[in-house]
Amino acid sequence: MKKDDKASVSLKKVLIVSAILLLIMGISVFAVGSRVKNVKIILSDGYEMNVLTTKDKVSDILNENYILLLDDEIVIPSLESNISDNKTIKITTENNVNNIKTTEVAQTSAEITAEQLLEQNYNNIVEKIIVEQTAIPFETETKDLSTGNASKKEVVKQNGVDGIKETTYKIKYQNDEEISRTEVSSIVTKEPQKKIVEIVNVEAASTRSNSATRGSTAVATSAAANGNALAAKVQGITPKVVTLNASAYTASTCGKSPNSSGYGITASGARASAWCTVAAGRGYKIGTIIYIPYFANKPNGGWFIVQDRGGAISNNKLDVYMNTYNECINFGRRNLECYIYEF
């Protein structure tokens, strides 16, 4: 073989070996630059899948595996983010935000985004339904009954009572701290009772007060003269003057059946009688006679006798017996001046 032929063969061998080396180096560089990763994808229905990919961007990995997000689905990390070190992509719905726990939060903006909120630890969020009561301030109604230029004074005819409003809230707490509050409903459970004040002449007020202090025995004397038996019993006795919170009741509201032998029978054993019977607290003995000026125009002339008790009747309350349920409802509840004759 000639020298030129030998040189040509050697050159070809060198070129072939060099090409092979360059190919191997290219493949190595490509493999290093495109490192294959095992990524776990958790779908919103809980299904888990492991995929091999050379991609880093979340959206690219999902597209590569033909995974599309629904309108109410959210992906963590976000579509534009790269996968985190744990190589996990989680798809969830907005309703499952409270169950999401991640260890990475991408702080790409000073403003908190929905993705950032989702990437925080929400395992400690608790939702509660809370009912709060607030007072409804009572109003004051002032009536000027005074005359002339004489000295005047204010007399409270009815004490004001605040009402009550109940508001139901749905409140979310994170780590025992309130983070949101939504009003669910609001209802007034107790209407406020207005305060009634009368402006009267000092002399008139003084005369009325002294009359009450002495017991206004003239009232009993006058009623006795007209044949009122209750008034006749207390004639000459000085009463105690108090203001009691009065309501009304009838036989049908006492919890007994009309066929019951005790229907309409009072604690004293007597049958309840309209415009005569009242139920009072145990601070007032059965048989105590009470005069209530508010009922002066009623058939009894305002005279009652304590014949009954009631589970909700305390010493500052009074329940007046009436014939019908409608009368009771129309009367409602009010503060009344009462003359108590105890003997």
**Each residue of 245-294: pLDDT tens digit?**
999 999 888 778 888 888 889 998 999 889 899 999 989 999 999 999 99
> Prior bond to 77 cis, omega within 30?
yes
Q: What is the pLDDT of residue 229?
A: 82
pLDDT at 4: 55
CA atoms of 90 and 78, how far apart (whole Å): 10
> What's the confidence (pLDDT) of residue 284?
92
What pLDDT score does 170 carry?
92
| Domains of the chain as residue ranges with CATH | 37-123 (3.10.20), 126-190 (2.20.230), 215-341 (2.40.40.10)
pLDDT at 214: 44
Token pair in block for residue 227: 């044949």
Gap between the Cα atoms of 304 and 341, Å rounded: 10
User: Tell me, what amino acid is at 229?
Assistant: A
pLDDT for res 136: 92
| Joined tokens for residue 19 | 């090409």
What does the block give as tokens for 51?
């995929």
Look up tokens 């990995």; give the residue: 61
- Looking at residue 57, its amino acid is K
pLDDT of residue 123: 53
State the amino acid at position 191 in one-letter form.
E
- Distant-in-sequence, close-in-space partners of 287: CB < 8 Å, separation ≥ 6: 268, 305, 306, 307
The 3-state secondary structure of the chain, one letter per residue = CCHHHHHHHHHHHHHHHHHHHHHHHHHHHHHHHCCCEEEEEECCCCCEEEEEECCCEHHHHHHHCCCCCCCCEEEECCCCCECCCCCEEEEEEHHHHHHCCCCCCCCCCCCCCHHHHHCCCCCCEEEEEEEEEEEECCCEEEEECCCCCCCEEEEEEECCECEEEEEEEEEEEECCEEEEEEEEEEEEEECCECEEEEEEEHHHHHHHHHHHHHCCHHHHHHHHHCCCHHHHHCCCCCCEEEEEEEEEECHHHCCCCCCCCCCCECCCCCECCCCCEEEECCCCCCCCEEECHHHCCCCCCCEEEEEECCCCCCCCEEEEECCCHHHHHHHCCEEEEEEEECC
Cβ pair 126, 173 in contact under 8 A: yes
Between CA 48 and CA 201 the distance in angstroms is 88
* Backbone φ, ψ for residue 246 (5° rounding): -105, 140
pLDDT of residue 181: 92
Instruction: Note the pTM of the prediction, 2 decimals.
Output: 0.38
What is the distance between the alpha carbons of residues 188 and 166, in angstroms, rounded to a whole number? 6
Contact 76, 89 (CB under 8 A): yes
| Residue 53 vs residues 18, 57, 87, 260: alpha-carbon distances, Å | 32, 10, 11, 86
Question: pLDDT by residue for the chain (343 residues), tens digit each?
Answer: 555 555 565 666 767 766 777 666 655 544 444 578 889 999 888 889 888 888 889 899 889 988 888 888 888 888 898 887 778 988 888 666 555 444 444 444 444 555 555 555 555 788 899 999 999 999 999 988 777 677 888 888 888 889 999 999 999 988 888 889 999 999 999 999 989 888 887 754 444 444 444 445 555 555 554 447 888 888 888 888 999 999 999 988 877 888 888 888 999 899 988 989 999 998 999 999 999 999 988 888 889 999 998 877 888 899 999 989 999 999 999 999 999 998 7
